[in-house]
Amino acid sequence: MARSNSGKKEVKAKLSGGGALMVALIAALGGTAGSWLSGKQLVESARIPAQISARTTCIAKVDSSESNFKDKSSQFITSVATFRSDLVLMNSANKNMLRDPAITVSQNGYGLIPYASPELASLSKSISNSVRSIAENPGYASSKDIKNIDSSLDEWLPASSGFLKMFDKKRADCK
């Protein structure tokens, strides 16, 4: 062992060619393993926020669809109720008096179709057609058309409730 000028012993290690190669190989394997582990951790850490974002986006779309359906169906049912509320008006009114309310029902009924189930779409078309028929011949409002409006409205609530449950199922299915 050699002594340095300060009086401390210096240790000099010598590695043979094979030993140096072994150290380099271990260092390379350790570096590769460390890179792989940190890369895997990076992927995992990015995957969770992506899943949360996808779920949030899915729920937002379902919420938007549900809101659109509720808004459109509310407008439609309100316009039908307004039109239907006065039987005397339907039987004693002229076409001009019923024209605007009938147009509103028709627009709201057909405007609802893209947001509704096939059953609700069919009910809204049926109601809209009956309203149009009454508005075209107000003095001769057919009891068939009036009964059709009433029976379709009676079917509307259970069909609408069933359709709204579908939004809850879609929200639960968001992953």
Q: What is the per-residue pLDDT across 43-81, written as a single tens digit (0 to 9) for each?
A: 556 566 666 788 899 999 999 999 999 999 999 999 998
Q: Which long-range contacts (CB under 8 A, 24 or more apart) does 122-129 make?
A: 123/152, 123/155, 123/156, 123/159, 124/76, 126/152, 127/80, 127/152, 127/153
* Nearest one of 155, 152, 144, 92 to 126, comparing CA atoms: 152
Single-letter amino acid code for the residue at 175: K
Q: Above 60 in pLDDT, residue 99?
A: yes
* Among the ranges given (40-54, 93-107, 118-132, 142-156), the one the predictor scored with the smallest mean pLDDT: 40-54
Phi/psi at 141 (nearest 5 deg)?
Answer: -55, 115
Single-letter amino acid code for the residue at 59: I
Residue bearing the bigger pLDDT, 40 or 159: 159
Q: What is the per-residue pLDDT across 117-142, written as a single tens digit (0 to 9) for each?
A: 999 999 999 999 999 888 887 766 67
pTM over 0.85: no
Can you give the pLDDT at residue 107? 95
Can you give the pLDDT at residue 47? 60
Please state, in angstroms and rounded to a whole number, the distance separating the CA atoms of residues 41 and 43.
5
Mean pLDDT, rounded, for 152-166: 93
Please state, in angstroms and rounded to a whole number, the distance separating the CA atoms of residues 88 and 79.
17
Is there a contact between 153 and 80 (Cβ–Cβ < 8 Å)? yes
Query: Which structure tokens are listed for 5?
Result: 């000028």
